[in-house]
């Protein structure tokens, strides 16, 4: 097997090769690190590479196999971590200049669980300052480029995670999602991005445990690999009240694409009322619906009105950011981008009453989505309204959709992702084809609250029917 083929082999297959001694952890790590070092100058998807530490761990993993010691489910498999998520002994910068020398004393719960199963960290992937945007750029490291077209954004805020995964650098990536930050780059880069139900993966760094709408998430190239990561990362933890008492699932078993979707009712919607969508996305979404129908699903449209969620999300999210980051900006004004400072400043106009009204609206959205699931097993919609934006796109500029310009990038590019951060329902972005610009497109499927296993089952069936995971970017 060539090094490139090895780097694009799913983690589910690598696990079997490693544990059967058909592949050595050192051989795998050598290929992965060589690819990372070759592509980093091209993509700029890492803030930190931990090559020396990763090779030392690979040698220990090889010795464990030779000695016949007990092995974890991910023994010897490389993974990356978004630089918002704490890693013991490895810098975690949050994409911010003021934290460039921050080195956590312990791993986040999600990272610790992957390492406990034998996975090996190879580096920290890029993120905009504190995950604050849908494009991955920062004064600390610059722009992260899309492996399908270097003049396009990798999306954000987990753009480094998705770009590295799509480029075949490592099969597993820890990302985060506060408004679409896993699913947006997954769609841009043609990979799988899951935002699980609230609490399924404990979030050990959330400051507002009860009002939290951010998630630590998996990003992979296949649904089976997502299930493998979820199996390792999921489970109750005292640090996250939403995780306590959740029922355990065998996500790996559930993600096997057995059977079909007969008996499943899918409600679908192309775009919320008043939001445009590109012709490529509309045509791709129609083809994706045909695939779901061919698998036996019953399809029915749902009402697109009443889903203008961006103002609600922004009132909540930006107020949280202001509480967390305004003192930092005041102390170090020259260390932050104008885009970040403008977002922090915008929350100053949100009153306490308006914030609470937004929280009431969030509760109403949950009830509305729950109402859809009274007769639906799944919801379906495009992840994005168009393919990856230009690399230099301004968050506060206008967005081009089929030659027309629209203000408010968030509301017009990803109107469907923020909704499910606020309601807590599981949502997954799957590769669903390519536009006329040869850029990946994404389908978002949404499951019942805490119905992550059933969502993975449906996602695996769609993936098997389309085989978009077999495509590789032209690097």
Residues recognised as catalytic = 82, 157, 181
Establish how many alpha carbons lie within 13 A of residue 131's alpha carbon, considering only the half-sphere containing its beta carbon: 26
The crossing angle, in degrees rounded to 10, of helices 223-233 and 452-466 is: 160
Q: Is the peptide bond before 157 cis (omega within 30 degrees of 0)?
A: yes
Structure tokens at 29: 């790590």
Between CA 285 and CA 208 the distance in angstroms is 36
The CA dihedral of 179, 231, 458, 79, to the nearest 10 degrees, is: 60
Contact (CB, 8 A) for 147 and 153: no
* Unique residue bearing structure tokens 């077209």: 149
Contact (CB, 8 A) for 251 and 230: yes
Contact (CB, 8 A) for 385 and 329: no
Contact (CB, 8 A) for 379 and 265: no
Between CA 202 and CA 216 the distance in angstroms is 8
Between CA 418 and CA 412 the distance in angstroms is 12
Residue 215: φ, ψ to 5°? -140, 145
Structure tokens at 419: 């909704």
Using the 8-state DSSP alphabet, how is residue 1 labeled? Answer: -
In terms of Cβ atoms closer than 10 Å to its own Cβ (0-12, 13-18, 19+), residue 472 is: middle
SS3 376: coil
Q: Which of 334, 319, 393, 311 is nearest to 136 (CA)?
A: 393
Using the 8-state DSSP alphabet, how is residue 241 labeled? Answer: G
Contact (CB, 8 A) for 110 and 216: yes
């Amino acid at each position: 097997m060539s090094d490139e083929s090895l780097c694009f082999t799913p983690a589910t297959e690598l696990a079997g090769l490693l544990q059967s001694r058909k592949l050595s952890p050192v051989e795998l790590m050598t290929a992965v690190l060589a690819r990372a070092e070759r592509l980093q100058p091209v993509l700029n998807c890492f803030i930190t590479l931990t090559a020396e530490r990763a090779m030392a761990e690979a040698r220990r993993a090889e010795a464990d196999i030779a000695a016949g010691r007990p092995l974890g489910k991910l023994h010897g498999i490389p993974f990356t971590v978004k630089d918002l998520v704490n890693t013991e002994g490895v810098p975690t910068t949050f994409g911010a200049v003021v934290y460039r020398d921050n080195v956590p004393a312990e791993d986040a719960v999600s990272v610790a669980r992957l390492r406990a199963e034998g996975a090996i960290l190879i580096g920290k992937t890029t993120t905009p300052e504190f995950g604050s945007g849908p494009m991955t750029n920062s004064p600390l490291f610059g722009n992260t480029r899309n492996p399908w077209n270097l003049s396009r954004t990798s999306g954000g805020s987990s753009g480094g995670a998705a770009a590295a995964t799509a480029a075949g650098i490592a099969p597993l990536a820890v990302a985060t999602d506060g408004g679409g930050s896993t699913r947006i780059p997954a769609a841009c880069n043609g990979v799988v991005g899951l935002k699980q139900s609230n609490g399924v993966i404990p979030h050990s760094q959330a400051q507002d445990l009860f009002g939290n709408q951010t998630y630590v998430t998996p990003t992979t190239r296949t649904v089976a690999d997502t299930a493998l990561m979820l199996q390792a990362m999921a489970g109750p933890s005292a640090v996250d009240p939403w995780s306590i008492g959740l029922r355990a699932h065998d996500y790996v078993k559930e993600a096997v694409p057995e059977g079909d979707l007969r008996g499943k009712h899918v409600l679908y919607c192309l775009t919320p009322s008043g939001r445009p969508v590109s012709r490529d996305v509309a045509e791709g979404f129609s083809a994706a619906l045909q695939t779901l129908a061919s698998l036996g699903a019953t399809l029915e449209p749902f009402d697109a009105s009443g889903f203008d969620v961006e103002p609600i999300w922004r009132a909540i999210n930006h107020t949280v950011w202001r509480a967390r980051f305004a003192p930092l900006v005041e102390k170090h004004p020259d260390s932050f981008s104008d885009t970040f400072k403008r977002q922090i400043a915008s929350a100053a106009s949100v009153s306490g009453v308006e914030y609470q009204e937004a929280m009431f609206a969030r509760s109403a959205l949950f009830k509305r989505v729950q109402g859809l699931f009274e007769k639906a097993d799944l919801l379906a919609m495009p992840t994005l309204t168009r393919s990856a934006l230009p690399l230099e796109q301004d968050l506060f500029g206008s967005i081009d959709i089929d030659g027309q310009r629209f203000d408010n990038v968030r509301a017009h590019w990803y109107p469907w992702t923020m909704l499910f951060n606020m309601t807590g329902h599981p949502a997954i972005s799957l590769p669903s084809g390519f536009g006329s610009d040869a850029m990946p497109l994404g389908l978002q499927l949404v499951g019942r609250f805490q119905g992550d296993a059933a969502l993975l089952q449906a996602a695996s069936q769609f993936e098997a029917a389309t085989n978009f995971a077999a495509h590789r970017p032209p690097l």
